[in-house]
Structure 1
Amino acid sequence: MSNRNWNQTLFIVFIIFACLLLQFLFTTLRIRELVRPLTSNSGENTSRHVVLISQELDNPYWRSIEQGAREASKQYGINMEYLGPFRINPAEQTKLLEKAIAAKADAVLVQGINDLNYRALIDKAADRGIPVITVDTDEPGSRRLSYVGTNNWEAGTNMGELVVQAAGKRGSIGVLVGNEQADNQRLRLAGFQSVINQYPELTIADVRSSNISRLQAARQAEEILSSHPQVGFMVGFSALDGVGIMEAVSHVKQREVSIFAFDDLAETKEGIRHCSIASTLVQQPYQMGYDAVSLIHGYFQGKNPETAQHFTPTSVLNRQKLTNGTGSNCQ
């Protein structure tokens, strides 16, 4: 073969080799581009797993907490799991907390239930590096990271001031609490008593528990009204108490009773519209859920909560506010 032909052959081989090299390079770059999104997605799939354990799964109040928690979880890329008993059951809440710890959740949001075993489980979670935030009701004495919810003492004093304003510093009051053992109920009652006790002619005739049941609220309220005919004011410190008291009052003929409720259930607001309920103190469950997840996100980023208690606001809802100022307050 002549030198000229040999050179041409080498040149062709070089061109072929260069083309193959370029093709390999382009293929490698393309594979990297395809793999990059998969790597990113795998990071999302291994996002933090936070468990929210409610008091009652389909309770509207706890569904509002869930909505706030989900909104914050979506914002921070957190995988949130919502659990709870179908009916109020502290033993079931305890089991769900045990399971969350065993499953090595990255964080747990729970309602305090004022129970020594429950407190021990919260401490166990802390020992295992699982931060716990109490929502709605605190678990005092535990190693929870923070409490997120209403300042219940202050809510009780606010309720006391509403009754004082309506009663003119004189009268007899019947009181319902949702659960005598619950920390939030005890604090509300204590705050309320601290205000009422300042007025010697304003007295609390009776305090009973509704066990967070509308039926029990109605029954207990009717017994208070029957046993204490002088009672002209009734206060309920859990969401179902107001509508239960309203039902009891409807059974007492020729009796005028001013009702002060808690939270803004649809029936409570309807009672306010029809002047059956004077006013209600409204909590912010959505904000509780949102803020609890936000605190957990900050903790994941190395920021401890600034305070051991993160209070969400309350507001007073009466007929004037409910009707946007078009209706006067009930007389």
Structure 2
Amino acid sequence: MNKKVKLFGMAVALSSMVFAAGCGNSSEGASSEASGEKGGESVAVVLKTLSSPYWKYVEAGAKAAGEELGVDVTVVGPSSEAEVIQQVNMLEDQVSQGPGAVVVSPTQPETVVPVLEKAAKDTPVLLIDSDANFEGKTTFIGTENYSAGQEGGKLLASMLKKGDKVVLIAGALGNPATDTRIKGAKEALEAAGMEVVAEQPADSDKAKAMSVMENILQNNKDVKGVFAANDDMAIGALRAIEAKGLKDVKVMGVDGTMEAVESILDGKLAASVAQSPYNMGYQGVENAVKAMNGEKIEERIDSGIDLITKENAKEQLDFLKSISK
């Protein structure tokens, strides 16, 4: 798998140290800090939330890089991805403390661009997971979300037959990462002859996705496939489907989280498009340090994807366990 090539060994070696530093203890809307040995250098990491497994992996990667490179890393994030203003406030607070660099995953890029532009005048600003256009950006590190959606849509279509009805469950409105995944998946599914009967947001939340799917099923009991823009929503949709006693509905998500991979191995979720959240966090801090040292950084760094099905889910699960001990 692409995401394991460079960092798998490092992840295994650092996993216990990273989580002892506080990753597993971060609370919703909270912050965590990993202190390096140099003390004088610091990186602020502002994520979309700290309340889901995906962002815990990002946090773990960022803090592992801080430990390895000897820099102070502070990680903050709001209580949910829907708390856009809370993220803006957290970003402003971190910038005001004068870190050596800022790593950000903006939920709604347009809301944070003014803060990022101001920060970029004096500080390297790196984006991970979700991009934004502004003057002075150092780099973007993340998945090509449109391609992730496209590949996921193609995989889901391969499990169905032409004319089957499918559902799309998006993230929070205005979230470019999840919006772009849905766009890619929709185009791939429609190109393969599937009928998209519903497309609704569920804020990247399991409970909301379950409720959304319950409502959709009231008028579409013959749905055969569901593509959700993240794994939590896929699991929520699956719960609604199981509660209705429906069989043979193929449900897939994006992120390749441990819960999703275990569900795939259990024969419940059909698949997941796995991103490299650990690598995003690690590479975000790694490149922030390079930027602080005056090194030239590529403008775009692709962290890659993997399609996780029952055939390779065990390998993915072993990797996730290795960075979660």
Query: Scaled by the length of structure 1, what TM-score is found?
Result: 0.78
- CA distance in structure 2 between the aligned counterparts of 1:45 and 1:255, rounded to whole angstroms: 57
Question: Shift in Å at residue 141 of structure 1?
Answer: 4.3
Amino acid at match of 1:157: Q
Partner of 2:181: 188
Equivalent pair of 1:279/1:316 in contact (CA under 8 Å): yes
- CA distance in structure 2 between the aligned counterparts of 1:270 and 1:80, rounded to whole angstroms: 31
Q: 2:283 aligns with which of 265, 283, 291?
A: 291
Partner of 1:36: none
- CA distance in structure 2 between the aligned counterparts of 1:197 and 1:250, rounded to whole angstroms: 25
Task: Pick 1 or 2: higher relative contact order, CA cutoff 8 A, min separation 6.
Answer: 2
Amino acid at match of 1:64: Y
Q: Point out the more displaced range, 97-106 or 138-147.
A: 138-147
Amino acid at match of 1:216: K
Amino acid at match of 1:77: G
Partner of 2:311: 320
Q: 2:131 aligns with which of 125, 138, 150?
A: 138
1:77-156 → structure 2 map (5 Å cutoff): 77-88=70-81, 89-127=83-121, 129-141=122-134, 143-156=136-149
Question: Shift in Å at residue 315 of structure 1?
Answer: 0.9
Q: 2:292 aligns with which of 261, 280, 300?
A: 300
Amino acid at match of 1:180: L
Question: Shift in Å at residue 169 of structure 1?
Answer: 3.5
3-state SS, counterpart of residue 251 of structure 2: strand
Question: Shift in Å at residue 193 of structure 1?
Answer: 2.3
RMSD: 2.1
- CA distance in structure 2 between the aligned counterparts of 1:75 and 1:251, rounded to whole angstroms: 46
Q: Which runs of 5+ in 2 are unaligned?
A: 1-35, 316-325
Amino acid at match of 1:286: Y
Equivalent pair of 1:120/1:142 in contact (CA under 8 Å): no
Closer, same or farther in 2 for the Cα pair 1:167/1:58, shift >3 Å? closer
Partner of 2:160: 167
Question: Shift in Å at residue 71 of structure 1?
Answer: 2.0
3-state SS, counterpart of residue 262 of structure 1: strand
Deviations 1:179-201 (A, max 9, x none): 231010111112112222323x3
Question: Shift in Å at residue 112 of structure 1?
Answer: 1.3
- Alignment pair present for 1:67 and 2:60: yes
Q: Which runs of 5+ in 1 are unaligned?
A: 1-42, 325-331
3-state SS, counterpart of residue 138 of structure 1: coil
- CA distance in structure 1 between the aligned counterparts of 2:311 and 2:190, rounded to whole angstroms: 29
1:15-94 → structure 2 map (5 Å cutoff): 45-88=38-81, 89-94=83-88
Partner of 2:243: 251
Question: Shift in Å at residue 291 of structure 1?
Answer: 0.8
Closer, same or farther in 2 for the Cα pair 1:171/1:270, shift >3 Å? same
Deviations 1:44-93 (A, max 9, x none): 65521111112223432222112211222223222111222244422121
Amino acid at match of 1:188: R
Partner of 1:215: 207
Question: Shift in Å at residue 143 of structure 1?
Answer: 4.0
Query: Scaled by the length of structure 2, what TM-score is found?
Result: 0.80
Partner of 1:16: none
Equivalent pair of 2:38/2:71 in contact (CA under 8 Å): no
Equivalent pair of 1:178/1:209 in contact (CA under 8 Å): yes
Q: Percent identity?
A: 22
Question: Shift in Å at residue 275 of structure 1?
Answer: 1.6
Deviations 1:227-272 (A, max 9, x none): 2233211111113111101101112235431111222334322321
Q: 1:282 aligns with which of 265, 270, 274?
A: 274
Closer, same or farther in 2 for the Cα pair 1:301/1:227, shift >3 Å? same
Runs of 4+ in structure 1 off by over 6 angstroms are: none
- CA distance in structure 1 between the aligned counterparts of 2:118 and 2:224, rounded to whole angstroms: 48
Question: Shift in Å at residue 101 of structure 1?
Answer: 1.8
- CA distance in structure 2 between the aligned counterparts of 1:120 and 1:84, rounded to whole angstroms: 19
3-state SS, counterpart of residue 159 of structure 2: helix
Equivalent pair of 2:63/2:282 in contact (CA under 8 Å): yes
Q: Which has the greater radius of gyration? A: 1
- Alignment pair present for 1:228 and 2:223: no
- CA distance in structure 1 between the aligned counterparts of 2:109 and 2:68, rounded to whole angstroms: 33
Work out the number of aligned pairs and report it.
279
